[in-house]
Chain A
Amino acid sequence: MERKLLLEHIGVEGINTHDVYRKNGGYSAVEKALKTMSPDDVVEEVKKSGLRGRGGAGFPTGMKWSFIAKPEGVPRHFLCNADESEPGTFKDRYLMEKIPHLLIEGMILSSYALGCNQSYIYIRGEYMYVLQILEKAIAEAYANGWLGKNIKGSGFDLDLAVSTGAGAYICGEETALIESLEGKRGNPRIKPPFPAVKGLWDRPTVVNNVETIAAVVPIVNEGGDAYAQIGIGRSTGTKLISASGNVNKPGVYEITMGITVEEFIYSDKYLGGMKNGKKLKACVPGGSSVPILPHYLVCKTAAGEDRLMSYESLSDGGFATGSMLGSGGFIVYDEDQCIVRNTWNFSRFYHHESCGQCSPCREGTGWMEKVLHRLEYGHGKMEDIDLLWDIQRKIEGNTICPLGDAAAWPVAAAIRHFREEFEWHVKEPKLCMTKNYGLITEKTFETVKG
């Protein structure tokens, strides 16, 4: 059954204001929690819900919450990661812009559950107009007694403020976000200690993504068990998907986990099929860092089963024939797109965004960009393809934070599935400047290198 848990009221006129949000059932979860639930009850419902982090990693939220240290007399902090910067992802902006009080309500619930009295939303600097929307909504929430001292007579105090980044993808990594919120460069920290023990100002801290926090609202309203009934297997609930690329209806969609990828791409309810009647060439289902899938692995897994929009199904086959749900940044490529160019573009992104702390990432991302550039512009050699493979392999797993992996995976997947297109660029250096390779042929997995 189709359920909208986050965007149900998105079409209601004025839903961005407190009064309309309230009329449509807003803040009832806060009322319920403060009146009838202990903080641990809220944590318990979130655990039961099976909610997993919506920022990309998919880590169980309830478990992450249970790690927070509670030393006597030390304040704890709850932070919202609104640094949405993964190419292909724009769902958090949509949610914050259209229905800011949902995030605020989720922040109150989560802060109550974790015993935090001072919480922050860290938003990327480029979303400055969204920051203003949030600040307005926060002021309304204070004015209506949902924030501040002794919220609705419960004895629970919460102050909530928004702080800003200034253009750095790396600040979406939670320890870089914390550094940035302390007014420093966004260099990720070495873990352990994890933020749950030493986070913001060395105090116990939990960082969650915007969508994850918003999902706590329906979980508290309807109960963790009811939430867990929605979706499929360990992919419970609904997920916001940001769809872009060569499709008829790009945009933000709230889907029930477990619908088929085929339905998502081709039905009129969702993306409405490929633009201009072109053929599907490839798809990046979870933001730029997840492995790209060739057309024959998008709607079906290597085992021939329907590919579903869920954590498990999208990663079915591992990196050999699968990918990841990631942040839900769903990028669709038609037959006219060049995989080498796209891979070069993504490598340039990661090179630009590397913080420079770890040599494999700082040097490797730039090196990959350079090699991909010469391949794309017809100056590549056959050895360059193996060289790229070698560089990405030496970045992956060898850096402080996952940006190194995020830079390596798209390159590895492109070579794994589209090697013949890379080779064509070397063999046809002139032709590749005027023409695109088109669709690749389907191959059996055994012949795929790597």
Chain B
Amino acid sequence: MTAAISADGIRQRYGDVQAVDGVSLTVEAGEFYGILGPNGAGKTTTMEILEGVRKPDEGRIELLGMAPWPRNPKLLPRIGVQFQASAFFRKLTARETIRTFASFYGVGPKRADAMLERVGLADKSETLTDQMSGGQAQRLSIACALAHDPELVFLDEPTTGLDPQARRNLWDLLRDINAEGRTVVLTTHYLDEAEVLCDRVSIMDHGKILHTGAPAALIREIDDTVRISVASGQLSLERARELLTAAGADLATLEDDTVTLSVSTRLPAPVLSVLAEQNALRGLEVRGATLEDVFLQLTGREFRA
């Protein structure tokens, strides 16, 4: 089977900025693939090049075995693109919007309405798009990208700006889309989102892909740092440092943000016993490494969303 996407050595420069600096990636058919990185990492430009709306300075790309640039009308019905900003016609209702976009693909109003129901907007079908909430607009945008039943779906930061409830609803929808056999490519600057949704993740920064792999595998690859936190006010920062050092704990970080006192360490046992001895276990949380730690490891700096 041909890969859904194969890209080799993509480079794109805007003036002095090398936005994309030699990105190569392969996405298998049916895969849920994430591009993770902070703002300005080059994710969106990479997506635009993959979608075929931008011609890269260098590099070779194939989507479903076809070149996306120049504009290829044979390829277009097979891909669906959801936009970062909600790109709708002015003053139309949700139903009119999706019906209009569906018609461009020869998809009739019945199927368009069914897709609106699928994303849970049936009761909002008469609402003007500029009066919809952020989550509703995102769902409509995704519905518009899916109305023509594409094999390959591009989602650019679909959950940015949504409240936690709306994010989780959208995650369920995205998982369903993928479970139907569609290949999904998603960009996000939320580490948890990539961890929960993606089969494989590419971590991107400064226009380069630093590492690619399954989220769990990426996390396992780095040293097992454990993050231990308790509620603040039970033990002062100075006292904690003194006691933990005396107990021989290996401290990666130790900080108190007035809400929680947190410790990152490779050896959790001495830290936990010190906290237990001091009777400072209120609000205890012990957490394994996350993609955040992977990012820190790869770039040597904190992840800045």
The answer to whether A and B assemble together is: no
Residue numbers of B with Cβ under 8 A of A are none
Residue numbers of A with Cβ under 8 A of B are none
